[in-house]
Structure formats: structure tokens, C-alpha cells
Amino acid sequence: MKKSGGLRMTEAEARQRFGDSAVDRSLAAWRTSPGRVSVPAGTPTWSAAKPTQRRWFDGEVVTFPSKMEARVYDRLEREVRAAPGSRLYRQVPLPLLSIDGNVRGVPYVLRVDFALVAPGRPVRYIEAKGPRRSREWARGAAAARAAGFQIEEVAE
């Protein structure tokens, strides 16, 4: 496939076509090229989350972005099945109050992982969170609390 005037191929295809040593030299030069941010070996990235699949209530296979979120879903699924009339929603947008004068009229939202709705009880907003939290999440959660939403942060 042509891309930007050059040929694009996988590393395996390049090794087969040009040989291991040529590809190793090329990769070494690319890794040390100016402008490339190098990360020392063993440095953790922002997230080591592994996508995990589960069956939703209707039988559809759903991919959760992390094993932790899938485990939270497993626990909430048991709660919903035990309480007749309960519903579970994923990736629920919560509208946030805006004080910056957004002239485009686009509302700010915070997406929480789950909302559990049970008859006669307040809606529970649940977010699967590990020990690391981004600044954006902290700001959004604070704005959601100011708007009256109570968000449970759980780690399973």
C-alpha cells in the first residue's frame, strides 16, 4: 500500500525482503533519531490495561477497556440479576456545569463506566479506577460532584 510516497510494510515483511541486519540498523537509527522521545526500558506507561470481553445481558459480546472494569461489571451484573427491575448502563454521560462561557454551546460531559438504576433507589454512578488518576478525571469528578452527582470509584 502506498503512503506518503513510500512503501509501507510490516516488520516481518521488511525482514523477509531486506534481511534482519538491515532492519535492525534501521530500527536502531529510528529509535535514536532527534525529535523522538525515548522512554527508558522498564518505565511504566500511563496504563497497562488489557481489553477484556464479557457477555452483556442480551448475549452480545462487549469489550471492556480493562480487566478491572470487566470485574466491576461482573459484580454489578450479579447485583442486577438479584434485584428484579434493575438496569445497568455503560459509558453514561453526565452533563457538567460550565463556568468558562463555552460560546459553541457544546455541553461538557463526564463519562462514567456504569450507572445502576434500581426501582425505589437513587441512581448509582460507578467508575472503575485503579490507583492512577489523571488530572482530567479529577477535575471532571469534582465538577460532577458540584452538579450533584455522586460517583463511586471502585477498584476490583
Same domain, 60 and 116: yes
Between 109 and 6, the higher pLDDT residue? 109
Give yes or no for residue 9 having a pLDDT over 90.
no
Same domain, 79 and 21: no
Q: Is residue 3 very low, low, confident or very high in pLDDT (cuts 50, 70, 90)?
A: very low
Domain count along the chain: 2
Q: Is residue 2 very low, low, confident or very high in pLDDT (cuts 50, 70, 90)?
A: very low
Which range of residues forms the domain containing residue 8?
2-31
The pLDDT of 83-97, averaged and rounded, is: 91
Q: Is residue 28 very low, low, confident or very high in pLDDT (cuts 50, 70, 90)?
A: confident
- The predicted pLDDT at position 134 comes to 80
Query: Does residue 36 belong to any structural domain of this protein?
Result: no
Query: Does residue 129 belong to any structural domain of this protein?
Result: yes
The pLDDT of 124-136, averaged and rounded, is: 87
3-state secondary structure labels for all residues of the chain: CEECCEECCCHHHHHHHHCHHHHHHHHHHHHCCCCCCCCCCCCCCCCCCCCEEEECCCCCEEEECCHHHHHHHHHHHHHHHHCCCCEEEEEEEEECCCCCCCCCCCCCEEEEEEEEECCCCCCEEEEECCCCCCHHHHHHHHHHHHCCCCEEEECC
Most confident segment among 2-6, 11-15, 124-128? 124-128
Domain at 122, CATH number: 3.40.1350.10
Query: Does residue 43 belong to any structural domain of this protein?
Result: no
Query: Does residue 42 belong to any structural domain of this protein?
Result: no
Please tell me the pTM assigned to this model: 0.65
Mean pLDDT for the chain overall: 81
